[in-house]
Amino acid sequence: MSSTSSNGIGSGVIKWIDYRLPIFTMMNKELNEYPTPRNLTYMWNFGSLAGIALVIMIVTGILLAMQYTAHVDMAFDSVERIMRDVNYGWLIRYIHMNGASFFFIVVYIHIFRGLYYGSYKAPREILWALGVIILLLMMATAFMGYVLPWGQMSFWGATVITNLFSAIPWGIGDAIVAWLWGGFAVDNPTLVRFYALHYLLPFVIAAVAVLHMWALHRFGSNNPLGIDAKGPQDKISFHPYYTTKDLFGFGVFFIFFAAFIFYAPNYMGHPDNYIEANPLVTPPHIVPEWYFLPFYAILRAITFDISIPFTGIVLIDAKLGGVIAMFASIAVLFVLPWLDSSPVRSGRFRPYFKWFFWIFVIDCLVLGYIGAMPAESPYTEIGQVATAWYFLHFLVILPLLSRLERPMPLPASISEPVLGGGGMAAAPARSPEGASGVSTEQSPETMR
Amino acid sequence: MAEATNPPRGDVDEGKRDFIYLLGGAAGVVGVGIVAWPLIDSLNPSADVLALASIEVDVSPIEVGQAITVTWRGKPVFIRHRTVEEISEAEVVPMDVLRDPQTDEERRIKAEYLVMVGVCTHLGCIPSGQKVGEEKGEYGGWFCPCHGSHYDTSGRIRKGPAPTNLVVPPYEFIQDTVVQIG
Amino acid sequence: MNRRLFKSGSGRLLAAAVLSLGLSVPQAAQAAGAIDVPDHDFSFDGIFGTFDRMQLQRGFQVYREVCSVCHGLRLISFRNLGDGPDSGNNSGGLGYTQEQVKAFAAEYTIVDGPNDEGEMFERAGLPFDHYPSPFPNRQAAEFANGGAYPSDLSLMAKARKGGADYIYYLLTGYIDPPAGVDVGALHYNRYFPGTLTVDTGRIDDETGEPILEPVPGGLIAMAQPLWEDSVVYQDGTPATVEQMAEDVSAFLMWTAEPMLEDRKRMGIKVLIFLVVLTALFYAIKRQVWSKLH
């Protein structure tokens, strides 16, 4: 590529390597020059934060794996040995424990940002779908990781969640559950395979994250206005602008993270997980980790059989219905780009969408709250309404809105509102180091 | 390409700017270093391992001529209550016949109790000769069956491939008949 | 006082702030019938909290003389009692010397083995031994206690909502049951989670059923363990029920989280460093972006 020489990357050795493996060219292009909309807000920090969270989890996880014993008789004590005897073991474990929660906090904010600004819309559908896959992988990883300390919640969480599959009729479900367990209950084989998968999946997440970034860099980041860049004045190089901004974001993130690790390390955990697993005693209330609560609420919302009216023929019993609803609540995200067909991406210019977005956020919070409550009146009813609204939002409101809503006029370009209508005037192009790759965001015709 | 814009460098105070970059970079590096230490240190021996780094052994039950094997830091330690003959045999050996010259006095604290790490210095096998009736080698001490090293009653290498005498661990008598090893 | 200012509230507030950004508040995960345990002031509360070594030793005495009859402490080794800067372990112990620890361990008989003849044998305890549990296994413990399992206490302060506060209030929560509560062979405790109801004597007009009213507290198998002067403190502290309850709660916080002081000390340094670092990063970011606007 001509950009290597024109940008004068490195000298001697670097050049020699780069000629054979253009990794420096690639890094320069994707991390340094990478043209990024100039108007990204701090809401765009959460992607890189998710990345650093993944790195933290993998590093601490590998160290914990070197001390952990995956056996039902020893797992609990081996974790306590890490907490008590291993040098800084408590620190590493608390980082890993709270890191899971923070990973989800960051990723959820990242997702809601995407929802508000329409980051899932063309041409970013695959980027979005890859993100949903990452979310699914994260959930699987977190769930299996939570089993490893072999506390009461570990055991009973594993039992309840794996039992979901038994909802599948005709004996298939039971066969699947036995296969998952490797036995007739959650036991040692289950623990060991969960350990193996818990170690494996983060690397799969990392791989999908690479695809996610690849897809991102194809068209570049969306932005708060949701409009495409019209020319060079709309973009700035990733470095130093967004590298420094991301670093600042890391700092803020670490402050919150450290506050929890050092002063409330068990706040987001459940006390019952400090009791060793006992297959003969169920805790009075089994609650999943907070980041699963909304989905848990959806699972429990289906308390009724779905049958053909007036015939009494049950099509889907309540148990299977709950499982289907829970998986559907994530599956619906995959088709979101086609449910919301409004040509306007950003919620800023969609007067009604904006309101429904915030109602949806509240709905998710309500679901989270209900997920933590016992399955009794009035929580069940509230959960059912909230679940109905969740699906209504995606399946009815968004398709209707995109047809009925009249969006506000869009600004002419990204730099216009930034520069107070000054257009190009205030943005001289970067020094003429030549075209370093082609941004696919706009065809040459649209360039000025 | 859609060339990223890089506005001209204005009249910002460059000295101040460079200083702040330097400071930020240095602080970041220090931060990473501080984080790295706990991660690395976690792989060092842990408190429960260190707690077993020294053991106490009561040697009074060992009868004259008998030996016991205790485990210390994952390795066998031989403690033999030697007979008078064994002691005098060990003491009279001239230094020039030894591959690894050491007097018996250098290898013991109390003459009757010989304490050694029971690992052959050749390739790490466990020599025989601890139990009654076991092969003790040509010099009445220990014999390594792997490659035929013979040790004498002071645990010194006398014949065979082993390069050095059996290792004497750090130990002391904390009571008359209680040995603390390690 | 700083301690009061930061007492537990800070963590919760922060948590609520962060979580309200994310999804929901997990501590809403409240079982019906569970009781909100009030706060009790401990020396280890707050971000500058430390253990009071004399209190830990008193608490240990209470454990040994009262609790240990039924409750184990299996995650604690004798050596932990003497942990401290000079023992090679980061976390602080109870302030005992290594000699005291050794003498203390030797008071216990430990089953070890097998020996050369394949037999298990008994020997005096050594510092690296774990605290022996009063029962050989869970079944034996349940059998000896009428079916109720006296939990191992090592992690109790982390395994119950409310932690050390809960232990304190439980131990001081043995009061007369509300009128109408039949305790049977159990014991009423104001802070034990339960779903007790009393008959109000009124009848629901619609259903004709008697109206039951929930009462706080629950029925616990453990009889009141602490009474005035259950132990005689070596340091002369009067052994009131509250004093012993507080001491043993503090001790159990230590057994659950011996690295607590370490964690809090390190936290201050880390947070100060991070705030400075973040401020620097912010300055750099401003500097860089100032060229744009």
Residues B131 and C117: their CA atoms lie apart, in Å, by 13
In the predicted model, what is the mean pLDDT of residues A135-152? Answer: 95
CA distance A429 to chain B (A): 5
pLDDT higher than 90, residue A154: yes
The confidence score (pLDDT) of residue A426 equals 37
> What pLDDT, on a 0 to 100 scale, did the predictor assign at position B139?
86
Interface residues of chain B, partner chain A, Cβ below 8 Å: 1-8, 24, 28, 38-39, 41-44, 46-49
Shared-domain flag, residues B78 and B160: yes
Whole-angstrom distance, CA of residue A116 vs CA of residue A37: 17
- B86 with B22, same domain: the answer is no
Which of C21, C26, C270 has its CB closest to that of A268?
C26
Amino acid at A54: L
Mean of the per-residue pLDDT values of chain C: 82
What pLDDT score was predicted for residue C7?
40
Q: Please, which pLDDT band fits residue A423 given cuts at 50, 70 and 90? A: very low
Q: What is residue C51's DSSP assignment?
A: -
Are A162 and A181 spatial neighbours (Cβ–Cβ below 8 Å)? yes
- Judged by DSSP in three states, C48 sits in coil
Contact state of B51 with C292 under an 8 Å Cβ cutoff: no
Among chain C residues, the shortest Cα distance to B24 is held by C280
In a domain, C154, yes or no: no
* Whether residue A8 has pLDDT greater than 90: no
Q: Are A352 and A340 in contact (CB under 8 A)?
A: no
In this structure, the answer to whether residues B24 and B76 fall within a common structural domain is: no
DSSP C231-285: S--TT-----HHHHHHHHHHHHHHHH-TTHHHHHHHHHHHHHHHHHHHHHHHHHH
Residues of C in contact with B54 (CB under 8 A): none
- B5 falls within a domain: no
Total domains present in chain B: 2
Quick one: tokens of C42?
A: 């401990």
SS3 annotation, C145-195 = CCCCCCCCCCCHHHHCCCHHHHHHHHHCCCCCCCCCCCCCCCEEECCCCCC
**One domain for residues B66 and B153:** yes
Q: Is residue C96 part of a domain?
A: yes
Among A267, A298, A329, A373, the residue to mutate for chain C (most C Cβ within 10 A): A267
Q: Which of B79, B137, B133 is nearest to B110 (CA)?
A: B79
Count of CB contacts below 8 A, B vs C? 45
Catalytic hit among A217, A230, A235, A319: A217
Let me know: does A411 contact A227? Beta carbons within 8 Å. yes
CA distance B137 to B128: 8
Domains and CATH numbers, chain A: 42-114+123-210+239-277 (1.20.810.10), 287-409 (no CATH)
Asked if ipTM goes beyond 0.95, one says no
Q: Which of A48, A166, A221, A329 is catalytic?
A: A221
CB < 8 Å to B46, chain A: 67, 81, 85-87, 89
At residue A126, does pLDDT exceed 70?
A: yes
One-letter amino acid for residue A2 of the chain: S
Q: Are residues B77 and B32 in the same domain?
A: no
Q: Does C287 touch chain B (CB under 8 A)?
A: yes
Per-residue pLDDT, averaged over A101-113, amounts to 96
* Residue B28 and residue B72 in one domain: no
B4 with A229: Cβ contact below 8 A: no
Residue B140 Ramachandran class (φ > 0 left, ψ -120 to 50 alpha, else beta): left
Q: Which candidate, A445, A439, A330, places its Cα nearest to that of A34?
A: A439
Q: Which residues of C touch B47 (CB under 8 A)?
A: 79, 83, 88-89
Is the pLDDT reported for residue A447 higher than 50? Answer: no
Whether the pLDDT of residue C14 is over 50: the answer is: no
C25 touches chain A (CB under 8 A): yes
On the 0-12 / 13-18 / 19+ scale of CB atoms within 10 A, C169 is buried
CB A48 within 8 A of CB A56: no
Task: Judge if B176 and B96 occupy the same domain.
Answer: yes
Asked if residue C175 is part of any domain, the answer here is no
- Alpha-carbon Rg for chain C, nearest whole angstrom, is 24
Average pLDDT of the segment spanning A202-231: 94
3-state secondary structure of C1: coil
- Angular region, B74: left φ>0, alpha ψ -120 to 50, beta rest: left
Catalytic-residue membership of A221: yes
Is A304 in contact with A321 (CB distance < 8 Å)? yes
Taking 90 as the threshold, does the pLDDT of residue C197 lie above it? no
Interface size between A and C, measured as CB pairs under 8 A: 165
**Burial of A201 per CB tally in 10 Å (0-12, 13-18, 19+):** middle
Among residues A340, A413, A399, the alpha carbon closest in space to that of A122 is found at A340
Percent of chain C at pLDDT > 70 equals 85
Asked, for residue C118, whether it belongs to a domain, the answer is yes
Contact between B27 and C283 using a beta-carbon 8 Å cutoff: no
For chain A, count helices (H), then strands (E). Answer: 17, 4
Q: What is the pLDDT of residues A306-346, one digit of tens each?
A: 777 777 777 778 888 899 999 999 999 999 999 999 999 99
pLDDT digits (tens, 9 = 90+) for B12-71: 567 777 888 888 889 889 989 988 999 999 999 888 888 888 888 888 888 888 888 888
Query: What's the average model confidence in pLDDT over C127-137?
Result: 89
What is the per-residue pLDDT across A173-209, written as a single tens digit (0 to 9) for each?
889 999 999 999 999 999 999 999 999 999 999 999 9
Which are the catalytic amino acids of B? 147
Residue A430 — pLDDT band, cuts 50, 70, 90? very low
DSSP-based three-state secondary structure for B141: strand
C284–A365: do the CB atoms touch at under 8 Å? no
Asked if omega into A169 is within 30° of 0 (cis), the reply is no
- Domain that includes residue C98, residue range: 77-129
B28 lies in which domain range?
14-41
Q: Is A105 at the interface with chain C, CB within 8 A?
A: yes
DSSP A375: S
Alpha-carbon gap: B15 to the closest alpha carbon of chain A (Å): 18
Has residue A5 got a pLDDT over 50?
no
> CA–CA separation, C79 vs C127, rounded Å?
5
What is the pLDDT, as a whole number, of residue C217? 86
Residue B15 touches chain C, beta carbons under 8 Å: no
Of the residues A289, A340, A363, A416, only one is catalytic, namely A289
In sequence order, what are the residues at sequence separation of 6 or more whose Cβ sits closer than 8 angstroms to the Cβ of residue C129? C77, C78, C105, C108, C110
Q: Which residues of A fall within a CB distance of 8 Å from B1?
A: 35, 435-439
pLDDT of C87 above 50: no
Q: Smallest CA–CA separation between C21 and chain A, in Å?
A: 7
Closest-CA distance of chain A to residue B78, Å = 29
- The pTM of this model reads 0.84
For this structure, is A246 an active site residue? Answer: yes
| A28 interfaces chain B, CB cutoff of 8 Å | no
Task: State yes or no: pLDDT of B75 exceeds 50.
Answer: yes
**CATH of residue B158:** 2.102.10.10
What per-residue string of b and e applies to C264-274 under the rule 16 or more CB within 10 Å gives b? bebbeebbebb
- Does residue B19 sit in the same domain as residue B101? no
Question: Are the C-beta atoms of residues A246 and A44 closer than 8 Å to each other?
Answer: no
B72 and B24 part of one domain:
no
For residue A435, the distance in angstroms to the closest alpha carbon of chain B comes to 5
Span of A132-136, A318-322, A328-332, B7-11 with lowest mean pLDDT: B7-11
Quick check: A35 and B8 CB within 8 A? no
- Catalytic, A289? Answer yes
pLDDT at residue B148, as a whole number: 86
- Compute CA C170 distance to the chain's CA centroid, rounded to the nearest angstrom: 11
Q: Which of C128, C277, C283 comes nearest B52 by C-beta?
A: C128
Look at chain C and report how many structural domains it folds into.
Answer: 1
**Cα separations (Å) of A328 from A133, A299, A367, A394, C176?**
14, 10, 15, 11, 52
Shared domain for B148 and B77, answered yes or no, is yes
As a whole number of angstroms, the longest Cα–Cα distance in chain B is 95
Tokens of C279: 């401020």
Is-contact A28 C282, C-beta < 8 A?
no
Secondary structure letter of residue B5 according to DSSP: B
Crossing angle, helix A152-163 and helix A125-147, to 10 degrees? 130
Is C103 a member of any domain?
yes
**Which backbone phi and psi does C77 adopt, to 5 degrees?**
-95, 155
* Eight-state DSSP code of residue B133: T
Q: Is the pLDDT of residue B10 over 60?
A: no
How many angstroms separate the CA atoms of C290 and A241, rounded? Answer: 10
Å between A144 CA and nearest CA of chain C:
19
CB C72 within 8 A of CB C133: yes
- Is any Cβ of chain C less than 8 angstroms from the Cβ of A369? yes
Note whether residue B9 is domain-resident.
no
Using the Cβ of A442 and the Cβ atoms of chain B, whether some distance falls under 8 Å is answered with yes
Give the whole-number percent of chain A exceeding pLDDT 70.
91
Per residue in C176-187, pLDDT (tens digit) is 888 878 888 889
The strand pairing partners of B115, in sequence order, are B79
Which is more confidently placed, A302 or A207? A207
Nearest-by-CA chain A residue for B6: A430
Closest Cβ opposite residue C276 in set B8, B20, B27 = B27
Same domain, B69 and B104: yes
Same structural domain, B125 and B158: yes
The reply to whether C266 touches chain A by the CB within 8 Å rule is yes
Contacts of A289 in chain C (CB under 8 A): 26
Which of A289, A103, A275, A153 has the alpha carbon at shortest distance from C25? A289
Whether A288 and chain C come into contact, CB under 8 Å, resolves to no
Chain B residues close to A231, C-beta within 8 Å: 2
Structure tokens belonging to residue C237: 């502290």
CB contact under 8 A, B51 and C277: no
Asked if pLDDT for residue C17 goes beyond 50, the answer is: no
